[in-house]
Amino acid sequence: MQKIYAEPQKEMEAKFKELKSLEAKKVKFVDAIDASNNVLADVNEQLKKAEAMIIKTKFLISKAGSVHTEETARLGQLNA
């Protein structure tokens, strides 16, 4: 009688062990995905900051061009 139950018992134990292994792998994948999402969020934040800096730089460059033109005109008046 014990022989009859021994085989299914071994199969159940093997399946249980396999299930535990798969659950552990799932946890590792979820952790890796979470880490990747955190990195992507950080990169997106850095991109937003870079875009703001580019806009500010373009504004300053546009102002510098007009200031340069004004100063060149003043210098021309002083030399005249």
Query: How many CA atoms lie less than 13 Å away from 16 in the CB half-sphere?
Result: 6
> Could you give the residue ranges of the DSSP H alpha helices within 1-80?
2-79
Q: So what's the pLDDT on residue 23? A: 97
Given this model, what pLDDT does residue 17 score? Answer: 96
Residue 76: CA count within 13 A, CB half-sphere: 6
Confidence bin at 79 (pLDDT 50/70/90):
confident
pLDDT at residue number 62: 85
Whole-number Å distance between alpha carbons of 39 and 47: 12
The answer, yes or no, to whether residue 1 has pLDDT greater than 60, is: no
pLDDT band at residue 63 under the 50/70/90 scheme: confident
**pTM for this entry:** 0.57
